[in-house]
Structure 1
């Protein structure tokens, strides 16, 4: 096996971004690819033509339990990348939840809007096929940070496998983005519900660093409701969730803007139970919150772990 000089990282969510940054800092040439128009994964901010209508429609905040992510949050806070939200220990990206990932990927080669459809490995390394065109060049190593079912499908369709890769169970989530005229329908930054069909509501306009404008809510449907209605059309999902939100709040909700986003892999319910997967024989790694649990910190830790495994093998070689 030749010298390790280049790595492709598939997926520009937090775990992929952490892995990419650690590998680049070690002196490797890193290329990050993502099928989305932007970066962030579920650290997502949806913007419209009106700058005031911006919604964090994925993960709502970050919280650290361990020292590594706590130190990273402290650095980001000092540099204005994140800011505290509401209660002690909860942080949000500023001016949107994509800010931490953008910071990690600053200065790296990032190719957005590319869907990887096939992988080939030969003596010269990994080559990638995309829906747009074959990607020029070879990569000595490959890190995939997609949700686990997507990793399995990509590997199987390419005639590859990664030992230890199971299929962690995910809960989907319909996310409703609302702008309202008039005052907020509840006090405080957010609400959690135990009953179907709505699990959580956050006031995006209460977060630091956001532009002034109308009251903006992000509503996350409960997992079972989202599963039942996963293939419903967007208009019917939006109408149903607006109605249910009004019922739960005790007064009708009349939005001036309403849109929805479907997260098929919103929250891992049965994680792998280890920080990452890495096969040194293939120089193939995988990471994501599905390894350790459905938290932003779990994605951070997994991305750092797969980079460490790859670099350890590189140094040993």
Structure 2
């Protein structure tokens, strides 16, 4: 390509990272904007005084060939490793590692909040808080959770048909450090209030100690969404002890609320793209509640952009 075209990628989770990598490999400039202090989105890791918790997505699995090939490549290079059987893979040394790998060497602006996108003629600008303007860009790809995509588009005077059909369930996440030894790597009661208990310290490449991440069920999280963190800890801790059959007596406990944790209703299509505007959106909300779905959607969004911009997909 004689003129290097540029795309603004809004969101630095798996979908945004997959899109950015494929655009960059085709010779475009992919500028990523992410509100987090570090990329990864819901593939998140919390650190506190030497402790480490994967308090978002716990693992990834492949159902289709594209993500299976990507996982195999990551495993060969030590970016992911097997955990808890059943084809599960986790990032090394944390769940953000695959996203960091996809974005390695690409321009990423972290800890920035996108407030508006605007189009002037055939190019785009991206506005971030408090008052910065970035661009011009030839196209914009938004990979936020669907409700946040809608909010940004509404505030910017644009729309992409169909996004409102996507919906999410929330999740309360409890992080526990304990002196008690927990043998199980993964327990999935899926009975209120506990959906999942993961042994963070059982994952490869993690620090020593005994650490657990507990995810509440979707319905329990929805009913208790606005309760204070202390109340969530007080409710989930004894429930986790019941399922594990031991007293945890935590040395550290913290809760985190995910408003948009897991896709409940997806669009059933790979991505959304308007060639007249050169504006697209994608994420797990397009295809389903899996990291693989986010990867596939971001890849499809990149392919749509490359076809429109005249670059090889």
| Superposition TM-score, scaled by structure 2 size | 0.96
User: What displacement does 1:138 show?
Assistant: 1.2
Q: Name the CA distance, whole Å, in 1 between partners of 2:211 and 2:133.
A: 40
1:192 alignment partner, one of 171, 177, 188: 188
User: What displacement does 1:177 show?
Assistant: 0.5
SS, match of residue 132 in structure 2: coil
Q: Name the CA distance, whole Å, in 2 between partners of 1:182 and 1:88.
A: 26
- Which stretches in structure 1 are left out of the alignment for 5+ residues? none
The residue number in structure 1 matching 2:296 is 301
1:201 has 2:201 as partner: no
User: What displacement does 1:124 show?
Assistant: 4.5
The residue number in structure 2 matching 1:240 is 235
User: What displacement does 1:4 show?
Assistant: 7.1
* Contact kept? 2:84, 2:186, Cα under 8 Å: no
User: What displacement does 1:160 show?
Assistant: 0.7
Q: Name the CA distance, whole Å, in 1 between partners of 2:295 and 2:29.
A: 21
The residue number in structure 2 matching 1:283 is 278
The residue number in structure 2 matching 1:98 is 96
SS, match of residue 248 in structure 2: coil
* Contact kept? 2:179, 2:248, Cα under 8 Å: no
How big is the alpha-carbon RMSD for the aligned residues of Structure 1 and Structure 2? 1.5
User: What displacement does 1:228 show?
Assistant: 1.0
- Which stretches in structure 2 are left out of the alignment for 5+ residues? none
- Cα 1:178/1:57, change in 2 over 3 Å: same
- Cα 1:251/1:78, change in 2 over 3 Å: closer
User: What displacement does 1:162 show?
Assistant: 1.1
Q: Name the CA distance, whole Å, in 1 between partners of 2:230 and 2:180.
A: 24
1:69 has 2:67 as partner: yes
Q: Name the CA distance, whole Å, in 2 between partners of 1:288 and 1:124.
A: 25
1:85-105 per-residue CA deviation (whole Å, 9 max, x = no partner) reads 121411100000000000000
Q: Name the CA distance, whole Å, in 1 between partners of 2:86 and 2:162.
A: 37
Aligned residues: 310
The residue number in structure 2 matching 1:37 is 37
The residue number in structure 2 matching 1:10 is 10
Q: Name the CA distance, whole Å, in 1 between partners of 2:311 and 2:72.
A: 33
| Superposition TM-score, scaled by structure 1 size | 0.94
* Contact kept? 2:116, 2:126, Cα under 8 Å: yes
Please give the residue correspondences for 1:158-197 in structure 2 after superposition, counting only pairs within 5 Å. Answer: 158-184=156-182, 187-197=183-193
User: What displacement does 1:168 show?
Assistant: 1.1
